Amino acid sequence: MAQEKPRTTGEKVDLKKLREARKYQIAAATERMKRQRQAVQAIEAALSQGGLTVPELARITKQPASQVLYYLATLKKYGKVVEGEAEGSYFKYRLAEEKADAGKETAPIES
């Protein structure tokens, strides 16, 4: 790795001013990420009880259905949830099985 040269006093002052000017944006982004993390955790907790549709998840988690659908699409993209059977006009979503656990079987080792 290349070593960084020591910052001059002027650079330090500039960085301090920049951090000060952006502190509200940084705080807002941090708060937004915190709310998103809580929303996703609420969805995952609800799905741990079994498969649910978007309206059911919205009711249980007290989130707008559009937001629940957005988070479900993201969780599906990253393999955290899967679509189940259709119930009326909606699919039931459930947590995906862990890949490591799904492939494990207790079989004796042959010698």
Following DSSP, what letter does each residue of the chain receive, concatenated?
A: -PPPPPPPHHHHHHHHHHHHHTHHHHHHHHHHHHHHHHHHHHHHHHHTTS-B-HHHHHHHHT--HHHHHHHHHHHHHTTSEEEEEEETTEEEEEEPPPHHHHT----PPP-
Is residue 111 predicted with pLDDT exceeding 50?
Answer: no
What pLDDT digit, counting tens, does each position of 28-64 carry?
Answer: 999 999 999 999 999 999 999 999 999 999 999 999 9
Q: Are the CB atoms for 67 and 59 separated by under 8 Å?
A: no
Domains of the chain and any CATH numbers: 16-102 (1.10.10.10)
The predicted-structure confidence for 16-29, as pLDDT tens digits, reads as follows: 899 899 999 999 99
